Structure 1
Amino acid sequence: MRPERATPEERLRAALLARADEVETSPDALPRIRLRTARARRRGAWAMIGAAAAVATAIAAGAVVVADRRADHAPAPATSSSVRPEQSHTPAPSARTVNLPVYFTHDGRLYREFTPVTLADDTDRGRIRAAVERSLRGQAADPDYRTLWPAGVTVRDVGIDGATVTVDLDGVGDPPSDLALQQLVYTVSAVSTYTSIRKADGVRVLGRTLHQAPMADVQAPVWVIEPAQGAVVGKTFTVYVAGIVWEGTVHVRVRDAGGGVVFEQVVQLSAGAPALGEARVPVTLGSGKYTVESFFISPKDSSVQWVDDHEFSVG
């Protein structure tokens, strides 16, 4: 067969045979090939043993995990208590103190104070109940603030139905005044913004569903929010005031322990009557005891009106 007529397979076979003829075979080639084959077999055997051991270890580990999970979900032993077993080991929530807005009265108007209240029950009901109790008892830091509710009145319970809060009172006696009711309503409404209710749409008390009266009708025209009564502040602090006054213009004044004026400024609130306005005034003073006052000047006779004051200290 002539080369030009050979098929591709025949030409490839002839080339391989020619290349093989050129290779010189070593005398020890066959022993070395047999040695490499034996080593490969031994490595394969050890690999199989290692794989089997790994599988056995994994199976054992899996058995431990399954056993642990079964133990976690095993049913608890029966108990005669009415409390479920998982509840019997739940620690009681620890009481904590929070600042809640509480309304009091002074000179026939409502004043708000952020009062530290220790909560044994830190829930919506617990917060509302604690704040209302402080309001009814007149437990304010400012000695000028009072309550219009009679001594001995207590909160029996607080219920929440949607945005309506029901306050069940005991020991009321004579019907309270309208301002006393607003004292309670404003407190509930203010505290509800610190709960999941966000804003109470109505307060049911003594068989009546009440709503907030207009601020201009019941709230004080001017009051100091910060520094709070008895607070200790740094040498640079902020006087925070609010009010419902004509054109929103009030005065902020600070007196030292001897009564001397150490700071005074006319302040423009964020809004004028009948809206509630507020303002923050930065002040820097040396260490000592002071009294901050806020008031407005009557446009009729230029007299000082509705002074609210707090005593505080600069550390």
Structure 2
Amino acid sequence: MAAGEEVLRRVLAAEADRIEPGPGALPGIQRRIRAGDRAGARRWWRGPGRALPRGARGRWGGWSPLAAGTVTVATLNVAAVVVGLASTVVPTPSERPGPPPGAAGAERSATPVPTVDDVRPGPTPPGGPVAPSAGQSTGTQTTAPAATTAALAVYYLGGDPARPRLYREFHRLWLHDGSARDRITAALRNLLDSPVGMDPDYRSAWPEGTDLRDVTVGDGVATVDLAGAARAGVDEVTARLAVQQLVWTVTAVPGVSGLRLRLDGAPVDRLWGRVDISGVLRRAPAMEVLAPVWLISPQHGDAVGRSFQVHVAGILPEATAQFRIQRGSRTVREQFVTLSEAGPAQGERKFTVSLPPGRYTLTAYAISLADGSEQYLDDHTVTVR
């Protein structure tokens, strides 16, 4: 009996030695796992009474129960390895349901796990914020920095189409190393990937097809090189806000206070023949470019608890905004919101709201001193759990 066990051990060891996953096998395994592909499994096992894989032949000159058992164990070992590898990998972030956070497509999709050299922006996946470190197969094993995520500010145009203003959303995006260049790259790619933000009322001023070529940072100034933007035509109001959309997004990164803009690799004095972009660009005064009333949080599409915090900001002469909660067409709550400062400064106010579970529309706005009409409306739809 002991001799038989020793023979079996040797056979199993020999078969285990034959398992040599190639260096590029893991992405393919992960793609099949995410896509629900069972073709690989079917190739390994085609059912009782049918051909087994060639690994069960050869050395014994034909089929035998021992060979079949060996293949079965080896197959289970491979499956265990695959499951173990898959469980350590955080999937590529999928798009958020509803209006996407600056990235095209509204449906969730599973894509191959990125390498740390090609982590694309996206919301934090359910599995957690940290992606695995990756080694390089060059003899000596080295560990690359772990990818992580951060909430980055991205600015959009919104409000009156004839006189748009900037609104900010925070998007949780993937980073390489967390440097200023890394953060700017993630935020701008996110901004340029889609014409709208999470809130469909927020839009990007940059024409479709505009792409980010490169970002460098030095002495507190970011140099951003865009491709494709010069081919489009934009009206003067949109052109001015497009520049400020870029400036405010870039300078939201700590340590960066200015922007140099390049188009297709070359410095340009005027953008679309309408806006001066020579030299270092700075933020325009808040009163000129930011929204007069702004529902900062919850953001559009958020799921919140029954008691949650509301954050309203505004640039209003009387420092008084309005806040309304609706469920369907029914108004659940309406109140004044006294901001911390009056215009031309931007005032803020945070307060707590409690609601039963359901879907609600939250609206921040102002009342016109001239005619009593509602103006500067900014609304977000949220789900209370």
* Class of the TM-score when normalised by the shorter of the 2 chains: 0.5 to 0.7
User: Aligned partners of 1:88, 1:105: CA distance in 2, in Å?
Assistant: 50
- 1:136–1:148 CA contact under 8 A, matched in 2: no
1:261 corresponds to 2:318: no
Rg larger for? 1
Q: Which amino acid aligns with 2:333?
A: F
Distance 2:354 2:155 in 1: 29
Give the fraction of aligned pairs with identical amino acids, expressed as a percent: 43
Q: 2:251 aligns with which of 189, 192, 205?
A: 189
Written as runs of structure 1 = structure 2, the 5 A alignment for 1:74-153 is 88-106=140-158, 107=161, 108-137=164-193, 138-153=195-210
Unaligned runs of 5+ in 1: 1-83
CA distance in 1, matches of 2:246, 2:186: 12
Task: Name the CA distance, whole Å, in 2 between partners of 1:313 and 1:87.
Answer: 52
**TM-score relative to the length of structure 2:** 0.56
Q: Name the SS of the counterpart of 2:229 in structure 1.
A: coil
- Structure 2 unmatched ranges of 5 or more: 1-135, 268-277
CA contact (8 A) 1:101 1:115 kept: yes
Give 1:163's aligned amino acid.
G
Cα distance between partner residues in 2 of 1:151 and 1:281: 38
Count of residues in correspondence between the two structures: 225
More strand by share: 1
Contact 1:135–1:183 (CA under 8 A) maintained in structure 2: no
Residues 188-227 of structure 1 mapped to structure 2, 5 A cutoff: 188-190=250-252, 192-193=253-254, 197=255, 200-206=256-262, 207=267, 208=278, 209-227=280-298
1:122-143 deviation digits (Å, cap 9, x = unpaired): 3221111111122233351101
Deviations 1:224-277 (A, max 9, x none): 111111111111111111111122110111111x22111111011111111111
Give the helix-richer structure, 1 or 2: 1
Alignment equivalent of 1:292, drawn from 362, 365, 377: 362
Contact 1:225 1:241 in 2 (8 A): yes
TM-score normalised by structure 1 residue count: 0.67
Please state how far the C-alpha of 1:164 moved relative to its aligned partner. 0.9
SS of the residue 2:244 aligns to:
helix
1:159 is aligned to 2:216: yes
Q: CA RMSD in A?
A: 2.1
Q: Secondary structure at the match of 1:159?
A: strand
CA distance in 2, matches of 1:151, 1:179: 16
* Compared CA separation, residues 87 and 274, structure 1 to 2 (3 A): farther
Question: Does residue 249 of structure 1 match 2:333?
Answer: no
Does the 8 Å CA contact 1:115/1:140 hold for their aligned counterparts? no
Instruction: State the shift of 1:175 in Å.
Output: 6.7
In the alignment, what sits opposite 2:303?
232
The 1:285–1:149 alpha-carbon spacing in structure 2 relative to 1, beyond 3 Å, is same
Query: How many angstroms apart in 1 are the aligned matches of 2:307 and 2:300?
Result: 17
Distance 1:105 1:253 in 2: 22
The verdict on how the C-alpha distance between 1:290 and 1:87 changes in structure 2, with shifts beyond 3 A counting, is farther
Q: Secondary structure at the match of 1:210?
A: coil
Q: How many Å separate the matches in 1 of 2:178 and 2:170? A: 17
Does 1:304 find its partner at 2:374? yes
Partner of 2:22: none
Q: CA deviation at 1:211?
A: 0.7
- Describe the shift of the 1:307–1:87 C-alpha distance in structure 2 as closer, same or farther (beyond 3 A): farther
2:368 partner letter? S
Q: Alignment partner of 1:247: what SS?
A: coil
**Separation (CA, whole Å) in 1 of partners of 2:172 and 2:233:** 29
**CA pair 235-87 structure 1, distance change in 2 beyond 3 A:** farther
CA distance in 1: counterparts of 2:174 and 2:212, whole angstroms:
16
